[in-house]
Amino acid sequence: MEEKLKMPVSQKLYGEFIYWITVVSAIICMVGPVIAMLSVENNVMNPHYFFAEIFAGKSAAEVWQTVGGGFPGGHFYLKHPFTGDGFTQFGLALGCLCAIPALIAAAIGYLRQKPKVYLYACLCIWVAFMVAVSAVGFVKSH
């Protein structure tokens, strides 16, 4: 008879958080474009002009300048959460940042299991901190 390996709670928690936040993020990213197309004028960038500029081969900077009056900065969805493109951008950000709550949950799992694994818990918190710092914009690429 085969023995089943028992998966550590911390790994289950990490997987569940990543899975469900990614599913919610994907649904938001599917609904956002529908909102954008239903309410064309209620967007940071009008999707009709936006797609026309993209298909014309313009660069990202040119598209933002022509259609949106310039790039509004990172996390612009916080100022425009009820626009189609703001809602979609929120979904993208949520999907990209799903590691933060998953890592925190895994750290808690490592601290609650027997024996406690302090090294892995600290590494989880450290990586979550680095992801958060990057998302806020302290780390910039050139």
Kindly report, residue by residue over 18-69, the tens digit of the pLDDT. Answer: 999 999 999 999 999 999 889 888 888 888 888 888 899 999 889 888 888 8
Vertex 23: Cα angle to 10 and 18 (nearest 5): 20
Cis peptide before 33 (omega within 30 of 0): no
CB-neighbour burial class of residue 60 (10 A; exposed 0-12, middle 13-18, buried 19+): exposed
pLDDT at residue 68, rounded to an integer: 82
Pick the more confident residue, 34 or 74: 34
d(Cα 136, Cα 113) in Å, to the nearest integer?
32
**pLDDT tens across 95-139, in order?**
999 999 999 999 999 999 889 999 999 999 999 999 999 888 776
pLDDT at residue 129, rounded to an integer: 95
Yes or no: say if 97 and 127 are a contact pair by the CB < 8 Å rule. Answer: no
d(Cα 94, Cα 97) in Å, to the nearest integer?
5
pTM for the structure as a whole = 0.79
Give me the residue spans of the domains in the chain.
9-136
